[in-house]
Structure 1
Amino acid sequence: MKITAFAGSNSKTSINKRLVTYTASLFNQPDTTVLDLNDYDMPLYGMDLELENGIPNDIFKISTILKESDLLIISLAEHNGAYATVFKNLFDWLSRVDGTKGFHNKPIFLMASSPGGRGGASVLEIAKARLPFNDGEVIDTYSLPNFSSNFNDKDGITDPELKSILFDKIENIKSQLKF
């Protein structure tokens, strides 16, 4: 099984990238790729820009990676209760690629974390409702609140209950997708 994971953030110190990288490792699949959206050239989407220059090559690269994946793990940063600009921009560009509305009907494990107690709950709800309209099948969600209190790079999730919830979700996804 091929897993592609990424954070909907362009912060070099993204807590959501740390969470998605940790989570992807828990699937124990050798064919796992963690993308960094900073590695792709994605100018701010606009119809005039698309008409003048076409779709950037890096968008086609990302679209192909998503299409060839069996599972997408996406952890979204929440900015002012919604997507971070980099994710919305990626979303807009992907929706312009012929043959897809964005996510190639792939199963998505949708996640979010934040420094606060709601753990990105607002962006999770927005994405969970929106992604199915763009060929994304959200099969489960996970929220990690109070990131700095509940996560470290050595142990991953440190709160036993939150860790157990994540592990249960991963096992359910593995079973559902026959990993």
Structure 2
Amino acid sequence: MTKKIIAFGASSSKNSINKQLATYAASQFENTEVEVLDLNDYEMPIFSLDRESENGIPELAKDFYNKLGTADLIIISFAEHNGAYTTSFKNIFDWTSRINSKNFQQKQTLIMATSPGPRGGASVLEIAKNRFPFQGAEIKGSFSLPSFGENFDKEKGITNEKLKSELFEIIQSIEL
């Protein structure tokens, strides 16, 4: 039976380098069906208890939550805004947690981050690594790609052999 991977960049940027990295990582798994999500398809009002009590949980939040439920593996690559999650991701995260506080539904999860700079989204990756197990993510690995422009090519993927090897080692350790 073919296993399903849901992958996305935790950013609303139309040219998201994190979406590129998540898509690349998902493509490295064999015999899988990959669905790449775009957070722009899940734009909702900013979460608040008042909005929830007045209007309920938006259908888009339910759709996103249900998509995660279809996955055998979730791959997320985080953009880092001021050392933390992007607002677009945090809003979806907040809304889906109202459906189930374990919004990752005990799914195997590979968390990643990249940035143009040398830290490669290390701060947001650390936040996710510490937080996601409480949200029902079974973290199977984490990977940071520093200096995206120097270490990634749209056609070739990761060009730095040491970093490529590091990601492949994580991928090979995940059983689907």
Class of the TM-score when normalised by the shorter of the 2 chains: over 0.9
Equivalent-residue separation in structure 1 for 2:107 and 2:70 (angstroms): 9
SS at match of 1:78: coil
Q: Deviations over 1:52-105 (max 9, x none)?
A: 11111111111111112111000000011111111111110110004x521101
Q: Aligned-pair RMSD on alpha carbons?
A: 1.1
Summarize the alignment of residues 26-37 of structure 1 with structure 2, pairs less than 5 Å apart: 26-37=28-39
Instruction: Extract unaligned runs of 5+ from structure 1.
Output: none
Give the match for residue 141 of structure 2. 140
Corresponding residue of 2:85:
83
Distance in 2, Cα, partners of 1:29 & 1:120: 30
- From 92, 95, 100, give the equivalent of 1:93: 95
Which moves more between the two structures, 157-166 or 39-48? 39-48
Is the CA contact 1:41–1:56 (under 8 Å) kept in the aligned structure 2? no
Q: TM-score, normalised by structure 1?
A: 0.94
Bigger shift: residues 58-67 or 143-152 = 58-67
Q: Residues of 2 paired with 1:113 and 1:41: CA distance? A: 23
SS of the equivalent of 1:83 reads coil
In 2, distance between residues paired with 1:95 and 1:84? 16
Unaligned runs of 5+ in 2: none
Which position in structure 2 is the counterpart of 1:112?
113
Distance 2:34 2:161 in 1: 26
Q: Percent identity?
A: 54
**Paired position in structure 1 for 2:47:** 45
Q: Which runs of 4+ in 1 moved over 6 A?
A: none
